[in-house]
Amino acid sequence: LYGATVTNTFPDDELRRGFRQLVRMGGLLEPHDHAGVHLTLSEVMAVGELLDQGAMSQQRLAELLGLEKSTVSRLAAGLERRGWVARERVATNRRFYELQLTEEGRRVAELIAADLRAHHDRLLGRLTPAERHGLAVGLAGLSRALHDHAPHAGVDRSDPGGAG
């Protein structure tokens, strides 16, 4: 990526604008209106995790989604209000909520999963095998590099030492 001819002052057009646009467009997760019901991106992610992983606490869901516990608190309340998620205090430790898909919630989650899978199939079908392979390899590496560098990993994030 770097090393090629650089015409712009800002770094790395491909990564920078590319990633931003990709996610802004929501192309990877949209559409999130499924079968007449509307869900936010985070709600789609949430029911997906509950479908795949089963019952869990709000704290655990927040970790999986990369959201604040306060956000998940409101998110879970919304899903409960719509009848897709049941929230029950854990008997042995009443600090915990146990989140679980209702029957209706499971139905919705499975519809979304099918929609999303079809969407991704179409999307990835437009890539060449080399591009699909490259994406898998490159994202894995990037994810690892970001994780090593993450704030919560204890790395100094604002070290200006290597500027230039």
Partner DNA sequence: TAAGATTGAACTCTCAATCTTA
Partner DNA sequence: TAAGATTGAGAGTTCAATCTTA
Per-residue x/- track, 28-57, a copy of itself (CB under 8 A): xxxx-x-------x---x--xx-xx-----
With beta carbons less than 8 A apart as the criterion, state whether 77 and 69 touch: no
Total interface residues for DNA by CB under 7 A: 25
74 is a site residue for a copy of itself (CB under 8 A): no
Distance of CA 136 to the CA centre of its chain: 16
Name which of 95, 99, 92, 25 is nearest 61 in CA terms. 99
Q: Which does 77 bind (CB under 5 to 8 A by kind): a copy of itself, DNA, none?
A: DNA
| The one among 41, 64, 111, 113 contacting DNA by CB under 7 A | 41
CA 26 to chain centre: 11
Number of H helices, E strands in the chain: 6, 4
The reply to whether 84 sits near DNA by the rule CB under 7 A is no
Closest separation in Å from C-beta 91 to a copy of itself: 28
Which positions from 95 through 154 interact with a copy of itself, judged by CB under 8 A? 109-110, 112-118, 120-124, 126-128, 130-146, 148-150
Question: Site for a copy of itself (CB under 8 A): which residue of 5, 38, 66, 154?
Answer: 66
Candidates 2, 9, 81, 95: give the one binding DNA (CB under 7 A).
95
Q: Which residue has the tokens 């019901």?
A: 37
Task: Look up residue 117 and give its two tokens.
Answer: 């899978």
- Contact residues for 144 (Cβ-Cβ < 8 A; gap 6+): none
